[in-house]
Chain A
Amino acid sequence: MHEMAIAESMLEIVEATARRNAAARVATVWLELGALSHVEARALVFCFDAVTRGSLAEGATLEIVTLPGEAWCMPCGDRVPLQRRGDPCPRCGSYQLEVVRGEEMRVKEIAIA
């Protein structure tokens, strides 16, 4: 959902940083995407390609770091992996889970030249 929009948002963030650091171009962008976030990685790559044409980031490599989903399971009293919202605890099968990780959508860093 909104991958084109998100690519544009990323470009804005990346360009601002690159300009502040007097860069001629952006070589690489590292993006952290949580497994439970609202974005589909493949669609984002497609859109990033389209959106960066003619910008400082044209031709940049997009590195997507997929962060795993994690939840606090109340019956287990521990953190458990969570692949998808709506899944039960993989250990005890309970749905009493609170997501603690995996919702990130963050531009982590860039490589500039």
Chain B
Amino acid sequence: MCTTCGCGHGEVRIEGVPSDGHDDVHRHSDGTVHAHAHGHGGGAHWHRVDDGARHGTVHDQGHTPFRTLTGGLGAVHAHGVPLARIVAIERDILAKNNAFAATNRQLFADRGTFVLNLVSSPGSGKTTLLVRTVAALDGRVPVAVIEGDQQTTRDADRIRATGVPAVQINTGKGCHLDAQMVGDAIAALPTDSGGLLFIENVGNLVCPAAFDLGEAHKVVILSVTEGEDKPLKYPDMFHAADLLLVNKVDLAPYVDFDVDAAIGYARRVRPGLPAMCVSATTGEGLDAWIEWLLHGAATAKAARDQSVEALRRRVGELESELARRAPGAPGA
């Protein structure tokens, strides 16, 4: 179950096993959620309050769809909210997912693992690219994969056939992976330190953009058969990415796709976005991708080694201090 998304409630499976270790955030007193509309009486009313708008009228529980009020929230309070206490919350709606993501991120840092969240529309070639990538890495670093799809374990099976450990998350009706699902999936993977973890998100160019999984980077994959204007049509995803892979470039001569235009559009919504052209089938362009991955893995491992080294130094210092203050004491 997605922590912020009610869809797929109770239907998430990890390696075929229902994932039930979650808080049930959707329990109501009558046990159900009704999705049909109700009339105005007793329901929520929407009042749009825009910053800096012209001075408007007092809001009431009336039938006009919205009123504009000026001055932000202070004006709203002054204009007719019945006697009630105002309690500040200031809580980000995605806070719960972000908390799980932070936990994941800390675990990855502790292990020195470089984690990538691969996002794209379905059929861009993510899994084929992963299979090809794993072969090219040739055991130089430990690799593991978390696969996300609504149903089937086909992708995890393909990865496992290469000899790499993989866990399949099935979201049921869900349209993206969230940090809680990923946290649960990690438990099923080997705990080798260092190396690479690829999270292949559900094929979807919209929803995964909003959900931090704890990764180091989102890598967006766009194939030449998809149309060069996709970055403009799905800006959130390209904005959220730190690397663009243009895949299936071996097919470029046969389709009407301007690679430079596509990269240019992507850089409109995400200035400076690094981009690489690859073909998962012919292997074209893979060297640069592999080098980028190995560099990231080395950096993550170095950071971990440094922090372990710093801890060891600190332990050494504390032991010396103990020896100075309490010679002959246990542990001194």
Contacts and interface: CB of A to CB of B under 8 A. Distances in A.
A8 B6 contact: yes
B64 interface: no
Contacts of B86: 109-111
B90 A59 contact: no
A5 B95 CA distance: 13
Contacts of A91: none
Given A2-B4, A9-B25, A38-B236, A65 B72 contact: yes
A62 B76 CA distance: 12
Given A8-B6, A8-B25, A51-B33, A97 B271 contact: yes
Interface of B: 2-7, 25-26, 28-30, 33-38, 42-51, 59, 61, 72-73, 76, 81-96, 206-207, 209-210, 231-232, 235-236, 239, 267-269, 271
B269 A67 contact: no
Given A108-B89, A108-B90, A66 B48 contact: yes
Given A66-B51, A111-B81, A106 B91 contact: yes
* Interface SS, B side: loop
Contact of B89 (A58, A95, A109, A113): A109
Nearest to B47: A63
Contacts of B73: 30, 65, 108-109
A54 to B, nearest CB: 5
Interface of A: 1-2, 4-6, 8-10, 12-14, 17-18, 21, 23, 27-28, 30, 38, 41-42, 45-55, 58-68, 74, 84-86, 88, 95-99, 104-113
* Dominant secondary structure at the A interface: mixed
A62 B45 contact: yes
B84 A113 contact: yes
B5 A41 contact: no
Nearest to B89: A107
Contacts of A66: 48-51
A60 B50 CA distance: 20
A54 B89 contact: no
B43 A85 contact: no
Given A28-B81, A85-B239, A96-B271, A64 B47 contact: yes
Nearest to B94: A105
Given A27-B82, A66-B49, A86-B232, A9 B271 contact: no
Given A9-B4, A51-B33, A112-B87, 12 more contacts: A1-B207, A18-B87, A41-B46, A45-B45, A49-B37, A54-B29, A63-B59, A65-B73, A88-B268, A97-B271, A104-B92, A106-B91
B44 A48 contact: yes
A38 B87 CA distance: 26
Nearest to B233: A86
Contacts of A86: 231-232, 235, 268-269
Contacts of B5: 2, 5
Contact of B51 (A51, A52, A58, A68): A68
Nearest to B38: A49
A95 B93 contact: no
Contacts of B29: 54-55
14 contacts: A4-B33, A8-B25, A9-B96, A27-B81, A49-B37, A61-B44, A61-B61, A105-B92, A105-B94, A107-B91, A108-B88, A110-B87, A113-B83, A113-B85
Contacts of A62: 44-47
Nearest to A66: B50
A9 B89 CA distance: 13
B110 to A, nearest CB: 29
Shortest Cβ-Cβ A-B pairs, 5 listed: A5-B5, A45-B46, A85-B235, A95-B268, A49-B44
Given A21-B85, A30-B76, A109-B89, A55 B28 contact: yes
Contacts of B3: 9
Contacts of A46: 37
A112 B81 CA distance: 11
Given A50-B35, A85-B269, A63 B25 contact: no
Contacts of A85: 235-236, 239, 269
